[in-house]
Amino acid sequence: MKRRTLTENQSAFLIFGMKNDDSMYNQQKKEFTKMNKHLSTISIAACTALMTIGIFSFRSPSPADNGQQPVTYMYKQITCVESVVPGGMGRSRILTTDDNGQMMEKELKNFYSLVGINFENIANNDRVIVDKLNDMSALGWELTQVVTGSNQQSSNGNSNGGLFITRYIFRRAK
């Protein structure tokens, strides 16, 4: 007598009183696969929605969103030209333009004197520049940017001095 062994599916159908029908098993497998695809689609849609909400929730509101007008600014520039010419022969200045377009100059001390670098002149220039920046701040101007540059003058390989240029850019709401 031959013994017949049952597969897992066949034994499960027998235990639970179901008919041993492979077509029913295949039908359930197809439904399960279809349900998995739907769950995947729903998961992807939910993740996309959450990411979109997350991106836009960190967007800073513009003034127009609050019914306010966007702020417009007036700009003003102060230029400091510090000359580095041996022997104190250079010209150092703070240059500004007033509201009427007239250029105003304030003299700065030169970095060099006849004996070399003059640290007292450098300290004096620092005080004059900081005083000018404080005056601008007291008038309601906000320092927004500082741009620096330098230029070395030379001829025949020898340095004849140079310039340090610093531009201070201020803004104030109109």
Domain ranges of the chain: 8-57, 73-173
Exposure of 157 in the CB half-sphere (CA atoms within 13 A): 0
DSSP string, 135-170: HHHHTT-EEEEEEEEEEEEEETTEEEEEEEEEEEEE
Q: What is the pLDDT of residues 38-74, one digit of tens each?
A: 888 888 888 888 888 878 777 666 666 677 788 899 9
Cα 105 from Cα 163, distance rounded (Å): 17
Strand partners, 151: 163
The lowest-confidence range among 29-38, 40-49, 105-114 is 29-38
Q: How far is CA 132 from CA 77, 110, 124, 143, in A?
A: 12, 18, 13, 12
Report residue 5's pLDDT band, with 50, 70 and 90 as the boundaries.
low
Q: Which residues contact 70 (CB under 8 A, 6 or more apart)?
A: 62, 63, 64
Mean pLDDT in residue range 148-166: 81
Q: What is the pLDDT of residues 68-97, one digit of tens each?
A: 788 899 999 999 998 887 776 778 999 999
DSSP string, 78-103: EEEEEEE-GGGT--EEEEEE-TTS-E
Verdict on whether the full-model pTM lies above 0.85: no
Exposure of 124 in the CB half-sphere (CA atoms within 13 A): 14
